[in-house]
């Protein structure tokens, strides 16, 4: 049996890019459901070499490793630990095959990490531009909007001053959650932050990122019409795929597919996702990389459709939280690792029997997806329980104000 190494998505990108190169709409390529920017990036596939896109994605993969190292160094993590954490991404066989197989996720991951770097360096305008762009490219980063807004607190970001990043060593010594001067995870503090939500920087971030998003969307709508809007945007928002995937809901969707879902059913199916996201945001927003990680892991686990490429979304954030994780690799860390991979493999076995052997194993496949959600939940809870909460920024002294402890 011929098993292709190249991802089907790469063929889709390449076909869309060659359509674009010949002056046609990339959406003439069926199943091309991305921004035209991706196709534009791969136009050299048909001019220079058909592996051009793979080089871009692989280069992005390396850039992600560099950005992981950069973020950790910015937070004062020692060189050796930063390097080991970057290696968690770089030598992960799952992540480097993603890029070399021709999947565009490393580009998105690099952009998300770059946004974190910009925020840590106080470059809010740049962060806003890249954030608007990354949401245009891949909608899922919209879940980071609220934590970013929350972290743009006037206590951390003041005119003419660079935000002060809390050092890694000091965050590990203290019980950061309770004695942190910011009390970032304290619900009371979060409520106070909410009441002071409307600030100049937050407004600016929202306006700039929104403008970039709507400009990109509006421009490509002008070029490609409703087809672009439907394929690149609305499809992802309304997608209900009855075909088998890691999500627990696939069999339910298949069994119900012959009749339309009511608005109530859609709301109920979305409820666990929204509740989890909101709770995680309000508990961990100030520890931004950790908040991003747990949000992304939960988002993927509760999504209506889960494919293997979505795992990359939180793989790129995992190295950013490891220096604050008290879970030892031996044996809890390895146990979580093998449990997660085992649950995935278990699902894949049943998926293989269904798709490639034609066995009737829908129930077994659905149960495997339930087990996979249970494992994801266990891993997420374990990570939360072993995490040392560490806000990224510390309160800046106001000019003329007294020093606060």
Partner 1 sequence: MELRHCRIHISPVLGIRLIILAGIGSCVFVSSFSSEEALHNSNVEPNAAHCPETYISKSYFKKHAYLLDPDFQDFMAHELHTGSCEALQDKLNLVPRLSILHQHLIGEGSHRRLSSSIRFKSLPESLPEVPAHFCEAIIIERLPSGVFADPFELQHLLQRGVFADAAVFGDINLELPSFRSNRSIVEIHLDIGPNILSGHKNEVEINIELPLHARYPPLGKRGFSAVQFGLPDLFLRCSIEGKSHNESCLFMSTHGGAESQVVAAVWEVPCGIKEHEGVVSVITFITAIVSALLIVLTSIHYSDITDCNHLKQS
Tell which positions 302-341 bind partner 1, by CB under 8 A. Answer: 302, 326
- Contact between 266 and partner 1 per CB under 8 A: no
Q: How far is the CB of 222 from partner 1 (least distance, A)?
A: 10
> Within 10 A of 60 (CB to CB), how many other CB atoms are there?
19
> For residues 137-176, which are near partner 1 according to CB under 8 A?
162, 165, 167-170, 175-176
Residues 20-49 that bind partner 1 (CB under 8 A): 20-25, 27-28, 30-31, 36-37, 40-41, 43
Shortest separation between residue 36's beta carbon and partner 1, angstroms: 6
- Asked if 189 and 183 touch (Cβ cutoff 8 Å), the reply is yes
Q: For residues 131 and 204, is the Cβ–Cβ distance under 8 A? A: no
129 binds partner 1 (CB under 8 A): yes
DSSP string, 195-245: HT---HHHHHHHHHHHHHHHHHHHHHHHHHHHHHIIIIIIHHHH----S--
Residues of this chain, 181-200, that bind partner 1 according to CB under 8 A: 185
Cα angle at 345 between 339 and 350, to 5 degrees? 130
Which position among 155, 354, 364, 395 is part of the footprint of partner 1 (CB under 8 A)? 354
Torsion sign over Cα 75, 77, 79, 85: negative
Site for partner 1 in 68-107 (CB under 8 A): 70, 73-74, 76
The rounded distance, in Å, linking the Cα atoms of 35 and 202 is 27
Q: C-beta of 43: minimal distance to partner 1 in Å?
A: 7
Q: Which residues lie across from 164 on neighbouring strands?
A: 394
DSSP per residue, 116-171: HHHHHTT-HHHHHHHHHHHHHH-SGGGGGHHHHHHH--TTT--TT-PPEEPPHHHH
Nearer to partner 1, 94 or 378 (CB): 378
Q: Which of residues 222-251 bind partner 1 (CB under 8 A)?
A: 223-225, 227, 241-243, 248-249, 251
User: Which span (49-57, 94-102, 127-135, 193-201) binds partner 1, by CB under 8 A?
Assistant: 127-135
Of the listed pieces 101-109, 126-134, 314-322, 338-346, which binds partner 1 according to CB under 8 A? 126-134
Within residues 361-390, the interface with partner 1 by CB under 8 A covers: 361-363, 366, 370, 373-374, 376-377, 380-381, 384-386, 388-389
- φ/ψ (deg, to 5) at 164: -95, 125
Q: 10 Å Cβ neighbour count for 113?
A: 25
Stretch that binds partner 1, among 113-121, 145-153, 198-206, 335-343 (CB under 8 A): 113-121
């Amino acid at each position: 049996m011929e098993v292709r190494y190249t991802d089907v998505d790469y063929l889709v990108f390449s076909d869309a890019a060659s359509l674009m190169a010949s002056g046609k709409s990339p959406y003439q390529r069926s199943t091309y459901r991305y921004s035209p920017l991706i196709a534009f990036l791969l136009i050299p596939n048909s001019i220079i070499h058909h592996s051009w896109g793979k080089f871009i994605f692989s280069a992005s993969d390396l850039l992600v490793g560099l950005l992981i190292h950069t973020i950790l160094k910015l937070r004062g993590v020692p060189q050796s630990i930063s390097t080991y954490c970057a290696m968690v991404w770089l030598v992960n066989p799952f992540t480097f095959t993603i890029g070399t197989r021709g999947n565009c996720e490393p580009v998105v991951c690099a952009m998300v990490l770059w946004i974190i770097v910009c925020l840590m360096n106080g470059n809010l305008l740049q962060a806003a531009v890249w954030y608007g762009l990354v949401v245009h490219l891949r909608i899922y980063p919209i879940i980071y909007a609220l934590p970013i807004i929350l972290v743009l607190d006037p206590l951390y970001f003041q005119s003419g001053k660079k935000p002060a990043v809390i050092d890694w060593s000091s965050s590990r010594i203290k019980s950061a959650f309770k004695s942190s001067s910011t009390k970032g995870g304290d619900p009371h503090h979060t409520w106070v932050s909410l009441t002071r939500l409307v600030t100049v920087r937050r407004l600016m971030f929202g306006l700039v990122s929104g403008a970039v998003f709507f400009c990109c969307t509006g421009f490509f709508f002008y070029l490609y019409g409703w087809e672009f809007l439907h394929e690149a945007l609305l499809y992802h928002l309304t997608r209900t795929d009855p075909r088998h995937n890691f999500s627990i809901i696939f069999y339910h969707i298949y069994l119900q597919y012959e009749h339309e879902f009511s608005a109530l059913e859609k709301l109920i199916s979305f409820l666990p996702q929204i509740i989890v996201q909101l709770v995680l945001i309000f508990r961990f927003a100030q520890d931004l990389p950790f908040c991003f990680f747990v949000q992304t892991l939960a988002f993927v686990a509760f999504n209506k459709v889960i494919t293997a490429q979505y795992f990359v979304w939180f793989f790129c954030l995992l190295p950013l939280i490891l220096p604050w994780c008290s879970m030892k690799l031996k044996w809890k860390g390895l146990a979580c690792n093998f449990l997660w991979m085992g649950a995935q493999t278990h699902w894949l076995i049943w998926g293989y029997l269904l798709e490639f052997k034609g066995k009737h194993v829908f129930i077994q496949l659905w149960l495997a997806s339930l087990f996979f959600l249970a494992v994801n939940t266990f891993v997420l809870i374990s990570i939360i329980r072993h995490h040392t909460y560490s806000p990224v920024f510390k309160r800046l002294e106001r000019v003329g104000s007294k020093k606060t402890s």
